[in-house]
Amino acid sequence: MKVSDAYREANGFTPEKIADVMIGFYEKIDARCAEIERRIEREGVKLNCRPGCCGCCRDGLTMTQAEAAVIRKQFPDIGKALPHPQGACPFLDDDGLCRIYSARPYICRTHGLPMRYFLTLADALEMGMIEAIPEDHSPDQKIELRDICELNTLDVMDLPEEACWASEIAEAQLAAMDACTFGDAPRVEMRSFFEK
């Protein structure tokens, strides 16, 4: 992505300022997540997500460079601590709590919500999710998929659209912020914070 230095400076897309931009981005994500949770409750359902429930805190997760900048800013000494053993996120403590909770990446903020995904029929075919593209359909036609953590036992297909999280826009924003700020630098592995 090619943008001018003036644009990057004006929008905080520099390695020095990106953490503050991201904190503002997270505030909007958190507000939207809370809105969705309230909407789900209006359907008579409550999510099981709670402190200490950490099955979603898997090992091997990655984040953008900008997300990593927030952790480095808010928890500059986290790398000096011992990582959680292999098999779960290295940021977990012994009680199943997140040690960087206020700086956790985007994916962790939406854990547990009903998710909506959109996939083209061509991609669905390539991934083996369908056997063939119906003759009267274009390969570019999108289909909607839904998913939720198996511990949140509700039928996601029954929920109205506004009670589900669609991640396309937020993920595009994250990718654009990283491209503007860090070019094509690779994603950051969570465990890499501890590998010194």
With CB under 6 A as the contact rule, the residue among 55, 60, 139, 160 that binds ligand SF4 is 55
Coil vs helix vs strand at 48:
coil
Using the rule CB under 6 A, is 48 a contact of ligand SF4?
yes
| Per-residue mark of binding to ligand SF4, 68-107 (x: CB under 6 A) | ---------------------x-xx-----x-x---x---
Report the distance separating Cα 18 and Cα 63, nearest Å.
14
Using the rule CB under 6 A, is 57 a contact of ligand SF4?
yes
Q: Of the two residues 8 and 99, which places its CB atom closer to ligand SF4 in the complex?
A: 99
Distances (CA, A) of 67 to 26, 29, 100: 10, 13, 12
Using the rule CB under 6 A, is 64 a contact of ligand SF4?
no
- Indicate if the alpha-carbon torsion angle 7, 167, 112, 33 is positive or negative: positive
Q: Hey, what's the torsion of the CAs at 40, 41, 44, 50, to 10 degrees?
A: 100
Query: What is the residue type of 175?
Result: A
The DSSP annotation for 143-165 comes to: EEEEE--TTS-S-GGGS-GGGSE
Task: Specify burial of residue 71 (Cβ count, 10 A radius: 0-12, 13-18, 19+).
Answer: buried
Shortest Cβ 1–ligand SF4 spacing (Å): 27
With CB under 6 A as the contact rule, the residue among 18, 29, 112, 174 that binds ligand SF4 is 112
Q: Of the two residues 29 and 112, which places its CB atom closer to ligand SF4 in the complex?
A: 112
Using the rule CB under 6 A, is 188 a contact of ligand SF4?
no
- Indicate if the alpha-carbon torsion angle 181, 187, 191, 195 is positive or negative: negative
Q: Of the two residues 29 and 57, which places its CB atom closer to ligand SF4 in the complex?
A: 57
Using the rule CB under 6 A, is 51 a contact of ligand SF4?
no
Total of chain residues touching ligand SF4, rule CB under 6 A: 19
Q: For binding to ligand SF4 (CB under 6 A), which residues are involved?
A: 48-49, 53, 55-57, 61, 89, 91-92, 98, 100, 104, 108, 111-112, 149, 151-152
